[in-house]
Chain A
Amino acid sequence: MLFAPADLTDAELELQREVREFLAEELPRGTFDPGLGMGAPRDRAFSARLAGRGWLGMALPTRYGGHDRSAVDRFVVTEELLRWGAPVGHHWVADRQTGPIINRFGSEEQKQRFLPPICRGELSFAIGMSEPEAGSDLAAVRTRATPVDGGWVVNGTKVWTSGAHASDWFVVLCRTGDSTEDRHAGLSQLIVDLASDGLTITPIPFLSGHRDFNEVALEDVFVPHELVLGAVGGGWAQNTSELAHERGGPERWLSTYLVLEELVRSRPGLFDGERARLALGDAVARLWGMRRMSLSVARMIDAGEAPSVQSALVKEMATRFEQDLLERIQELIALEPLGEGDSLFERLLFEAVLSAPSFTVRGGTNEILRSVAAKGLGSL
C-alpha cells in the first residue's frame, strides 16, 4: 500500500479546535479579505501572533526556538490557515521549507542565527531556484559562485522569485564547481541577504496584475563562507530534499476551496438544483479523499520516511482538482467575474481564474511530477 491509513489523534483534533477558535477570534469572517491558499497576502503582525501561539517552526527543535512537534501538527495548523484564507504570505516559505532545510543541512551557527527569528515569524525567505534557462531543468542553473577571500562572489539571474521584494533572504541554488558529466555535481546552496550590494530586484508583473513575482539579478554579490548551506557541491541533493517539502501538503488542494465555500454561503438556493448538488458532492468527496492521502504523507515524514513518490502523486492530482473545481463552479453560475465585483465570491473567483494556470506549474510542473512518480512506481 502506497499510502498508509491515517487519522488524527485526539491531541491533534484538540490542536485543530484551538486553531479554529484562534482564527474565529483573530480573523472573523467578513472582517478581512481572505486570500487563496498560499497566495494569501503578507501580514507580519499576523505571522507574529501565530508565532506567539507556537504555530510557526512547529517541527523545529526547541533549542532553536521551535516546538519539537510533528509534521502532522504542522499539517493541522497549515490546513486551517489556508482554508480560512488567512494571510500566510510573510512566513510561508520560511516555515515550510527554509527552516526545515537549515535545520537539516545548516551549520550550528546558521541554525542559531536563522531558526529563532523564523520561529518568531520575523524573517521572511524567498526561493532562488529558477532561472531564465533553468525552469523544470534545475540542473541547468548558470548562476555561479566563484571563491574569493572569505567567501564567494555570486553572479547570475534568478527569475519568477515570489516575494523577493518583500523578503529578507533567499536560498540560491548555484554552480560552484565546473560542469562535469554528472550535471548534478558542482551545485551548492547559498543563503543570500536580499539587501546585499550588487543585488537588484525587478518586478515581473503577474498576468493578474499582481506584483509578487520578481527577477533577482546578482552582480558580484559577496556571500561569506559561513552562509554556504550544507556542503559545497551538495546542492543538488539538498535542493531535491527541499522540493519534497513543497509537495503533497494542504496548499496543493486548497487554493480554490474558498471559492466553493463562498458559493455555498452566498447562493444557497443554487443547491436546490441537481447539477449544483452533483458538483458540490463530487468536490467534497475529492477534498475528503485527497486530504486523507496528504495526511498519510505527513505521517510518513514523521516516521522518518522520504515519501517523494507519494508527494508527487498527491500534488499532481490535487492541483488538477484545484483547476477542475473552478471550471465546475463556472459551469454552474454562468458569470464572468469582475475584478471589483460586488461579492466576495465574485472577487475570489476573479482572482482564482487568473492564477489557476500556476497551480500545476509552481513547485514542479505536473509533467515533472508524473515523471518522478512513474520512476518510483517500478520500485514500489
Chain B
Amino acid sequence: MSDWLLVDGARRLLADTCTHEVVQAAESDGWSAVAWEAIAGAGYGSLAELPVSDALAVLAVAGEYAAPVPLADGLLAGWLLGEPVAAPVAVAPANDLRLLDGRLSGRALRVPWGHAVEHVLAVVDGTAVLVGVASAAGVERQVNLAGEPRDSLLFEEAEPEVVHPAACDLLERGALTRVALISGALTGMARLTVAYAAERRQFGRPIAAFQAVQRHLVDITQDASLVAAAADGAARLPGLFEIAAAKVLASSAAVSATRAAHQVHGAMGMTQEYRLHHFTRRLWAWRHEYGDERHWASQLGGAVAAAGAQRLYPAVTSGSQVV
C-alpha cells in the first residue's frame, strides 16, 4: 500500500494547482512555471526518492489532474541513473545519439518539455547519459496529441554531466510510468463523465437516465477500474509480465474509454473550454508512449507461450514470479 498522507497531499496540491486555466495556459505557452514551482516547491518534483509504489501513486494523481509537468520523467531519470536527479529533467524515449570519446552527438527525440527542462537523459547503447539542455546545438519544438512539448534536441560533441550504466530497462520502466498516468487520467475522466451525465438534461431528463448512455458510463468505469487494478499490480511487483500486462490494459482502455467519454459529452466534449480534452488527448498520447497495446501484448504472449501450458495459469496468478 502506498503512503496515504503523501498521496492525499499530492491530490490536494494538484487539484488546487492544475486548474483548467493553468492546464490550458501550459499548452499555449509550452511550459507552466506556475504549476512547476507549486509542485516542486511542495517537494513533489523529484519522485525518485520515494519507494516505487508511492512514486507511482503520486504519478497517478498527476494523471488524474492532467498535471502539465514532467513528473514521470524525473522519476524515470532517477530510476535509470540509480539515484535521484535534479529536476526538472526529461527523458528521451528515443534517440539517434552516439557517444564518442566521452562526447555526445546526434538527436534526442520526442523529449517531453525538452526546451524548458534543465537536463535531458538518454540511453545510448545501454548507458544512461545525462546532459544539460543548454549544451544542445539546436532545439526543434514539436507537440504531441495532447499539445504537450515533445521536442528534438540536437547535440554536437556535447559534454555529458553523468554517464552511468542504465540501472533499469528504459522501455519497461517508461511503460510503468505511463500506466500510472493513464490510470489516473481514466479515473479523472470517469468522474468527470459520470458527473456530466447526471447534470446534462435532454428530453426533460438527465442523460444518465438513458440506458444507452448508462452503457457508456459502465464501460468507462470498468476500464478505469481494470487499469487501476493493473497499475496496482505492476507497482507492487514491477516485472516484465506485470508491466506488459498493465500497459496492454492501459493502452487498450485509453482507446475504448475516450471513445465512450466523448460520446457521452457530445459536442461539449469537442471544445477547448471544457475539460474533457485534457484527459482524452493525454490518453491518446500515453497509449503510444513506451510501447502500445500491440507491442506489449506480443511481448507478453511470446513469454507465456514459451513458458508453456503448464505454467499458463500460474502466470495469471503470480506473474513474473513464474514467467
Shortest distance between the CB of A332 and any CB in chain B (Å): 11
Contact across chains for B248 and A282 when beta carbons are under 8 A apart = yes
Please pick, from B221, B229, B246, B304, the residue contacting A281 in the complex, using a CB distance under 8 A: B304
Greatest chain B CB density within 10 A among A280, A281, A290, A293 is at A281
Do A371 and B221 form a contact, CB below 8 Å, given A5-B229, A278-B297, A288-B233?
Answer: no
Q: Contact between B309 and A264 (Cβ–Cβ < 8 Å)?
A: yes
A274 touches B233 (CB 8 A): no
What's the Cα separation between A290 and B226 when bound, in Å?
Answer: 6
Interface SS of chain A? helix
Query: Contact between B233 and A281 (Cβ–Cβ < 8 Å)?
Result: no
Q: Is A292 an interface residue (CB 8 A)?
A: yes
Chain B contact residue count (CB 8 A cutoff): 50
Contact pick for A264, options B211, B228, B249, B305, CB 8 Å: B305
Q: Is A242 an interface residue (CB 8 A)?
A: no
Q: Which of B230, B293, B315 contacts A289 (CB 8 A)?
A: B230
Interchain CB contact (< 8 A) of A261 among B242, B252, B294, B312: B312
A281: which B residues are within 8 A, CB to CB? 244-245, 248, 296-302, 304
- Answer whether residue A306 sits at the interface, using C-beta atoms and an 8 A cutoff: no
Is A183 among interface residues, defined by CB-CB distance under 8 A? no
Report how far A367 CA is from B212 CA in the complex, Å.
10
A290 (CB) vs chain B CBs: closest residue: B226
Taking a contact as CB atoms under 8 Å apart, the answer to whether B316 and A291 are in contact is yes
CB–CB B302/A282 < 8 A: no
Interchain CA distance A83-B316 in the complex, whole Å: 11
Q: Which residues of B contact A280 (CB under 8 A)?
A: 297, 300-301, 304-305
Mark each residue of chain A from 360 to 377: 1 if its CB lies under 8 Å from any CB of chain B, else 0.
Answer: 000000010011011001
B1 and A288 within 8 A (CB): no
Tell me if B316 and A287 are in contact (CB < 8 A). Answer: yes
Do B232 and A292 touch across chains, with their CB atoms under 8 A apart? Answer: yes
B316/A271 in contact, CB under 8 A: no
Q: How far is the CB of B303 from chain A (nearest CB, A)?
A: 8
Categorize the interface residue count of chain A.
Answer: 35 or more
Interface assignment of A303: CB less than 8 Å from any CB of chain B? no
Asked if residues B1 and A5 are in contact (CB atoms below 8 Å), the reply is yes
Partner of B301, one of A277, A310, A374: A277
A260 to B313, CA, bound (A): 10
Pairwise interchain contact A313-B299, C-beta atoms closer than 8 A: no
Task: Assess the B229–A296 pair: CB atoms within 8 A.
Answer: yes
> How far is B228's CA from A292's CA once the two chains are assembled, in angstroms?
10
B308 at interface (Cβ–Cβ under 8 A)? yes
Evaluate whether A264 and B308 lie within 8 angstroms (CB atoms) in the complex, with A277-B302, A284-B316, A370-B218 already known: yes
CB contacts (< 8 Å) of B319 on chain A: these are 288
Which residues of chain A have C-beta atoms less than 8 A from B305's C-beta?
Answer: 264, 268, 271, 276-277, 280
B69 interfacial by beta-carbon distance below 8 Å: no
Q: Does B317 contact A (CB under 8 A)?
A: yes
Assess the B248–A316 pair: CB atoms within 8 A.
Answer: no
The reply to whether B217 and A271 form a contact with Cβ atoms under 8 Å apart is no
Whether A279 is near chain B, meaning CB under 8 Å from some CB there, is yes
Q: Across the interface, do A278 and B230 meet the contact criterion of CB distance under 8 Å? A: no
Interface presence of B236 (CB below 8 A): yes
Q: Cβ of A10 < 8 Å from any Cβ of B? A: no
Let me know if A237 is at the binding interface, CB within 8 A: no
Whether a CB of chain B sits under 8 angstroms from the CB of A45 is no
The reply to whether B309 and A262 contact each other, CB–CB distance below 8 Å, is yes
Flag if A289 contacts B304 (CB, 8 Å): no
- Hey, which bits of chain A sit against chain B, CB under 8 A? 1-3, 5, 7-8, 16, 79, 83, 257, 260-262, 264-265, 268, 271, 274, 276-282, 284-293, 296, 310, 313, 316-317, 367, 370-371, 373-374, 377-378
Q: Which 3 pairs from chain A and chain B are nearest by CB?
A: A281-B301, A281-B297, A277-B301
Q: Please give 8 more A-B residue pairs, beta carbons under 8 A apart, in addition to A281-B297, A285-B300.
A: A2-B225, A8-B317, A261-B312, A274-B298, A289-B226, A289-B227, A289-B249, A317-B222
A-B contact pairs, 10 of them (CB 8 A): A261-B313, A276-B301, A281-B300, A282-B297, A286-B226, A288-B245, A292-B232, A293-B226, A374-B211, A378-B194
